[in-house]
């Protein structure tokens, strides 16, 4: 049985959990991070010296970094389901995983943290507005890709859709102005039809820091 360390409402943990759900793998999730703490506990640091979630223990095979864990699970348990066996097709999926981390995440996270993880009196409206515009500009890139094909990595759902898909639930449920992105919106609609996405990625986060913390606590025992 897989052991996955990390709180349910972490976007990085969501990517791993969604992957596990798509593959139908048995697992046990241990709450670490956020209001649960535990990042500096010796047992957790032995798994991930960075003290960040998620961490995976698969029968003694330990990994950290969410995209790495997704690649491992997809390659070990989901060849030609989530991970293409063809090296080029696999690379096409991996480039979108890396793009999400290096291009989309840095511009979007100030929007999400600014509106949800920051007390109202400390919010920087100008910074949030600039980050919202940068996020919209970044999404023009997958919009062009998805106008040509249904899924980011090719003609079928796969691991390349997972990191950005996790973030898009948050993007489409924030109180912000969004440009019309028909291809991205249709892709998001297809994701919302997937049971594993609904269970592991469509996790409510509320409208404030107080909502976030309350919902985090309420989800503690959900597997």
Question: Looking at residue 219, what is its pLDDT?
Answer: 87
- Alpha carbons 201 and 20: distance in angstroms, whole number: 12
pLDDT of residue 222: 87
User: Measuring CA to CA, which residue among 34, 37, 3 is closest to residue 17?
Assistant: 3
Q: Residue 191: left (phi > 0), alpha (psi -120 to 50), or beta?
A: alpha
CA distances, 164 to each of 100, 152, 168 (Å): 6, 9, 6
| pLDDT computed for residue 215 by the predictor | 87
pLDDT in the model for residue 149: 96
SS3 label, residue 148: coil
* Separation of alpha carbons 73 and 67, rounded Å: 10
Cβ neighbors of 106 (< 8 A, separation 6 or more) are none
Side-chain half-sphere CA neighbours of 121 within 13 A: 0
Distance CA 174, CA 42 (A): 36
* Domain locations in the chain as residue ranges: 2-81, 87-212
Hey, what CATH topology would domain 2-81 get?
Glutaredoxin (3.40.30)
Mean per-residue pLDDT pooled into runs of 10, the chain (223 residues): 97 98 98 95 96 97 98 98 97 98 98 96 96 98 97 95 98 97 98 98 95 90 87
Q: What is the pLDDT of residue 140?
A: 98
Paired residues of 58 in beta bridges = 61
Matching CATH number, 87-212, of 1.20.1050.10, 3.20.20.370, 3.40.1440.10, 3.40.50.300: 1.20.1050.10
Q: How far apart are CA 9 and CA 25, in angstroms?
A: 20
Burial of 16 (0-12, 13-18, 19+ CB in 10 A): buried
């Amino acid at each position: 049985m897989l052991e996955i360390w990390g709180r349910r409402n972490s976007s990085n943990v969501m990517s791993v959990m969604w992957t596990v759900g798509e593959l139908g793998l048995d697992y046990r999730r241990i709450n670490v991070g956020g209001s649960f703490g535990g990042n500096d506990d010796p047992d957790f640091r032995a798994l991930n010296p960075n003290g960040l979630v998620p961490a995976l223990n698969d029968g003694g095979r330990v990994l950290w970094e969410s995209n790495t864990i997704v690649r491992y699970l997809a390659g070990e348990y989901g060849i030609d389901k989530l991970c293409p066996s063809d090296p080029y097709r696999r690379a096409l999926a991996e480039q979108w995983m890396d793009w999400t981390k290096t291009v989309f995440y840095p511009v979007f996270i100030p929007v999400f943290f600014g509106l949800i993880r920051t007390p109202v009196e400390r919010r920087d409206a100008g910074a949030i507005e600039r980050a919202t515009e940068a996020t919209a500009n970044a999404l023009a890139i997958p919009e062009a890709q998805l106008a040509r094909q249904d899924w980011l990595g090719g003609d079928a759902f796969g691991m390349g859709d997972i990191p950005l898909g996790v973030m898009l639930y948050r993007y489409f449920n924030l109180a912000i102005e969004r440009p019309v992105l028909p291809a991205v919106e249709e892709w998001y609609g297809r994701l919302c039809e997937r049971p594993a996405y609904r269970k592991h990625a469509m996790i409510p986060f509320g409208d404030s820091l107080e909502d976030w913390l309350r919902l985090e606590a309420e989800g503690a025992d959900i597997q």
